[in-house]
Every structure is written in C-alpha cells, then in structure tokens.
Amino acid sequence: MTTISNALQAVRERIARAAVQCGRAPASIALLAVTKTCGPEAIRAAYAEGQRAFGESYAQEALPKIAALADLDLEWHCIGPLQSNKTKPIAEHFAWVHGVDRAKIAQRLSEQRPPELPPLNICLQVNVSGESSKSGVAPTQLAALVRMVAALPRLKLRGLMAIPAPTEDMAQQRAAFHVVRELFEELNRQGFALDTLSMGMSHDLEAAIQEGATIVRVGSAIFGERRKPL
C-alpha cells in the first residue's frame, strides 16, 4: 500500500472512532481531502482509494490540476480566501465554495455561475476567533448575510464553515466549534434548512465531530506536511 493509502485509511478510522464516541453515524461525516501544494498524482492516489471530494485554496493553483484530472469524476471544493475580482474561475470550475464571508463575493459567484451547471453550493465562513482572524463574517452580521445569500438564484446555501485559531487544547477547540454549531442551529430554527457544518482539520477533527461537523477538511494528515504553510 502507498503512504497516501495508509494515511487516508488512518484518517477514515479517526473520523469513525470520533463519530462512534459521540453516538454519530460515521457516514454522516464527509471527508474533504485538501490538496493545496499536492500534485495531480497524489490526487490520483487518493482517488484510487475511493476519495472523490477534494479541496483547494487558490484558483490559480487549482485550475491546472482540475484540467489535468478531468478524466476522473471529482467534486472540487474551493476553501481558500476569496477576492471579488477573482471569482469567475471559481464559479465555473468548483462545485462548492466554503469561504464566502461577504455579500459582494456571493453576488458575483451567483452572477458568474454558468447556467448549464447546478447551483454552486455555499458555506458561509464565520469568524469565531475575533481579531486574530481577518476572514469570516462576524457572528453578529451572519443572519443578514444568510438572508441575502439564500435569495441568490444560482447559489445553494448549505451551511457554515469555520477555521478557529489553532490550539492543542481540546476543550478550547470544542468551545470554538460549539459557537459555530449554535449559530447553525439558530439559523435552522429560523427555517433556513442548512445541512452542512464544514469544520475540523488534521489537528482538531475529533473536536469538530463532537460538535456536529458534517464535513472535515483534512490535508497534512493524508498528504504529509506542506513545505510552507498556505
């Protein structure tokens, strides 16, 4: 077995163990394999092990890989920071966008989503770490953004995404994810029918699963440490 195959299996086992520990079905948590800095051959290796959903942070890096892997049936998720003048290739080449945090970006993605494609799945990024994070909508501004995005014709609002400030302390990890979960549940009480909580990465996926994550985004635990942080 290849290294990627072993690592992928180990991550699947971590997800299943964390799910069972809190009484959730392992199949209710989807694994998004994050492939920034990885070459197409690493993606093919994960595909050979049954992985279909892949996450990339930068369109410039992702587009050549998406083209090189067009022979495979892959689901591409854009998880990186978004700039409003660079939304078009994202609207054209991805199935999901996780980092939407302002109205202008959402409007452009909706306008630029090609009519022949299904609506673009959207998670709104929430800032649960205050001033230490520059991206993400503030919890107090979230409801207004949700109403606006839910009304855009070419987007399908699926849920919330968060990247809490990194910490090794599991109680702190859980506390941050808990805030996201409460926001999510409140929106659903208001009738928005959200089904996705995109949270948890290599170092904190167990805490995220305990707080209800439905997509965990995992890179280094599958593909190895990246040379430089992106």
Ligand X SMILES: *Cc1c(COP(=O)(O)O)cnc(C)c1O
Residues binding ligand X (CB under 6 A): 34, 36, 57, 79, 163, 201-203, 217-221
Nearer to ligand X, 57 or 173 (CB): 57
Q: How far is the CB of 71 from ligand X (least distance, A)?
A: 25
Q: Which tokens hold the place of 167? A: 């910490």
Residue linked to tokens 């799945």: 121
Nearer to ligand X, 115 or 162 (CB): 162
Give the ranges where the chain is alpha helix by DSSP (H).
Answer: 3-21, 40-48, 59-68, 88-93, 103-112, 139-150, 170-189, 205-210, 220-223
Q: How far is the CB of 189 from ligand X (least distance, A)?
A: 27
| Position with the least CB separation from ligand X | 219
Q: How far is the CB of 32 from ligand X (least distance, A)?
A: 8
Q: How far is the CB of 53 from ligand X (least distance, A)?
A: 13
CA 144 to chain centre: 21
> What letter does residue 167 receive in the DSSP assignment?
-
**Residues near 60 by Cβ (< 8 Å), separated by ≥ 6?**
none
Nearer to ligand X, 58 or 154 (CB): 58
Nearer to ligand X, 164 or 212 (CB): 164
